[in-house]
């Protein structure tokens, strides 16, 4: 549950580098023939599948104890050596792995995140995005665009969350994937915002509690409440005891559409609101509003859709929400209006070094 704390570059520098990268990519697209640019974009799907295959095969874990030549690595993985060489040839060309002078393969900064025991691992996230369920749903993106609805009810007769609840192997993978994604933003969030100002933080839909436990480990006086479905939080009491946080953090269970714990002066909704339609999100926010004191603060942590037409992670995840969850990413004005309809006033939006922003809101008076 550790965040793998790292020193972050200054936010203005990260923004400048992002603009420079996007500018170079846009220039490249404009200078080459359009059909070539389109082909290059399409072929990035092959790269995504290659990375997913590396996660499935456990290549990074097999290299965790040191470099291995192709024949040795193929034996360890029990795969065809020629097939392995062909997979690694593509991945090496995008610096996903490293090749030493003796021809052996090794981990580098990118592939280390494929290791299951890395401080920040994306292995479960990659396995989730590469799962049969996920790939099959994305082949129906056109259907989701036609209907404006998630495709799960038509394909499986269940919404995404209903399917995850009844197919627990998939549901557990999803929970782990979301936890791994969540770790990416923990350090940027802690660098951008003083969570220690709150006496009691209630993390709603907290999953494995990564953000809240990171906050509590960096503060001395803040107490926490982790709130999620019973099957999600079942392992957490033992983990909190292991981290020495059992005396400052409790675990409560339930549905945030019905009721949420009272008594917090800060309430966190991280990567929750975007899962739902406007009507569902308003219902959720009204439930939270009913539990809050007039002086409490609501912290919504989400990607915020930008006004520009440059690439942004939120534009990818917005389609993920359309295809699978039925929710959506929102602009700052969308959130301001949604919060106003739910009894809140948006006070400010704080950018971070990650794609996530912190939307700080208060009950309207």
Instruction: Give Cβ neighbours of residue 70 (< 8 Å, ≥ 6 apart).
Output: 81, 84, 85, 88, 103, 104, 105
CA 181 to chain centre: 3
Secondary structure (3-state) at 342: coil
Do 256 and 282 contact (CB within 8 A), yes or no?
no
| Euclidean distance between CA atoms 202 and 263, whole angstroms | 8
Q: Of 134, 137, 271, 274, which one is the catalytic site residue?
A: 274
What does residue 43 show for φ and ψ, rounded to 5 degrees?
Answer: -75, -15
Q: Within 10 A of 168 (CB to CB), how many other CB atoms are there? A: 12
| Euclidean distance between CA atoms 75 and 72, whole angstroms | 5
Backbone φ/ψ region at 200: left (φ over 0), alpha (ψ -120 to 50), beta: beta
Instruction: Give Cβ neighbours of residue 5 (< 8 Å, ≥ 6 apart).
Output: 187
Is 274 noted as a catalytic residue in this protein?
yes
| Euclidean distance between CA atoms 75 and 78, whole angstroms | 5
Active site residue ranges: 274
């Amino acid at each position: 549950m550790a965040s793998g704390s790292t020193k972050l570059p200054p936010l203005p520098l990260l923004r400048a580098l992002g603009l420079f990268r996007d500018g170079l990519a846009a220039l490249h697209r404009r200078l080459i023939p359009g059909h070539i640019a389109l082909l290059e974009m399409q072929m990035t799907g092959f790269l995504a599948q290659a990375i997913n295959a590396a996660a499935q095969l456990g290549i990074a874990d097999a290299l965790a104890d040191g470099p291995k030549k192709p024949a040795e690595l193929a034996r360890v993985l029990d795969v065809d050596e020629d097939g392995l060489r062909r997979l690694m040839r593509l991945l090496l060309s995008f610096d996903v792995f490293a090749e030493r002078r003796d021809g052996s393969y090794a981990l580098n900064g990118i592939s280390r995140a494929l290791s299951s025991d890395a401080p920040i691992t994306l292995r479960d996230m990659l396995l989730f995005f590469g799962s049969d369920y996920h790939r099959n749903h994305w082949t129906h993106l056109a259907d989701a665009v036609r209907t404006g609805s998630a495709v799960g009810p038509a394909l499986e007769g269940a919404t995404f969350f209903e399917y995850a609840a009844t197919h627990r192997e998939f549901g557990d993978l999803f929970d782990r994937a979301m936890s791994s994604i969540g770790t990416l933003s923990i350090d940027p969030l802690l660098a951008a915002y003083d969570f220690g100002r709150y006496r009691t933080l209630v993390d709603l839909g907290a999953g494995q509690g990564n953000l809240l436990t990171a906050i509590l480990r960096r503060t001395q006086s803040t107490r926490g409440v982790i709130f999620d479905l019973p099957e999600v939080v079942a392992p957490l009491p033992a983990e909190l005891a292991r981290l020495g946080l059992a005396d400052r953090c409790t675990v409560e269970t339930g549905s945030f559409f019905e009721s949420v714990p009272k008594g917090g002066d800060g309430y966190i909704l991280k990567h929750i609101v975007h899962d739902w339609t406007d009507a569902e999100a308003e219902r959720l926010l009204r439930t939270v509003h009913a539990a809050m004191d007039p002086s409490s603060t609501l912290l919504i942590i989400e990607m915020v859709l930008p006004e520009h037409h440059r690439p942004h992670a939120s534009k990818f995840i917005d389609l993920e929400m359309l295809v699978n969850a039925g929710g959506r990413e929102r602009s700052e004005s969308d959130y301001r209006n949604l919060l106003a309809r739910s009894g809140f006033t948006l006070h400010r939006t704080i950018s971070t070094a990650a794609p996530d922003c912190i939307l700080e809101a208060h009950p309207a008076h």
